[in-house]
Amino acid sequence: MFGVRDLSPEVERERLKRSAISVVGWHDGKPDSAIDAALDRVGQHARDVYLHIDFDGFAPNIAPGIVDEPVEGGLALADARLIVRGTCGRFRVRAITLATYTPANDKADATLRLALELVDLIGECIE
């Protein structure tokens, strides 16, 4: 998981700690550890992946149109490009989801524009 800054409820944090899921936390707009290294670790266990892109992982100025209260310091578009391209380059992507878009909360269509950029990026990767 990339872009994790805040987990709610607390039980979510506890379940994640007990799981085999690797988390690359994000603080002040920067990852806590290397993105490529995290993808390489996943590659030791899987060849096929489901790519779930949740807009609440992005910085609020990049994706304000989300369900929950925005949390500062998330992913930038450049981070998403690195993660998506790194995923597509290492794995067979079986399915992709763009999630938590809430148009009523969007500002100046920022989240919508991000979604369209991601769709184009994903299209490049799966061709």
Assign domain 2-126 to its CATH architecture. 3-Layer(aba) Sandwich (3.40)
Q: State the Cα–Cα distance between residues 47 and 55, nearest whole angstrom.
A: 25
Residue 127 clears pLDDT 80, i.e. is over it: no
Of the candidates 89, 90, 98, the residue with the CA atom closest to the CA atom of residue 120: 98
Report pTM. 0.89
* pLDDT tens column, 43-87: 999 999 999 999 999 999 999 999 988 889 999 999 999 999 999
What is the reported pLDDT for 10?
78
Distances (CA, A) of 28 to 50, 58, 73: 27, 12, 4
Are β-strands 92-99 and 48-54 bridged in parallel, bridged antiparallel, or unpaired? parallel
Dihedral angle sign, alpha carbons of residues 64, 70, 72, 73: negative
* pLDDT at residue 105, as a whole number: 97
Higher pLDDT, 74 or 22: 74
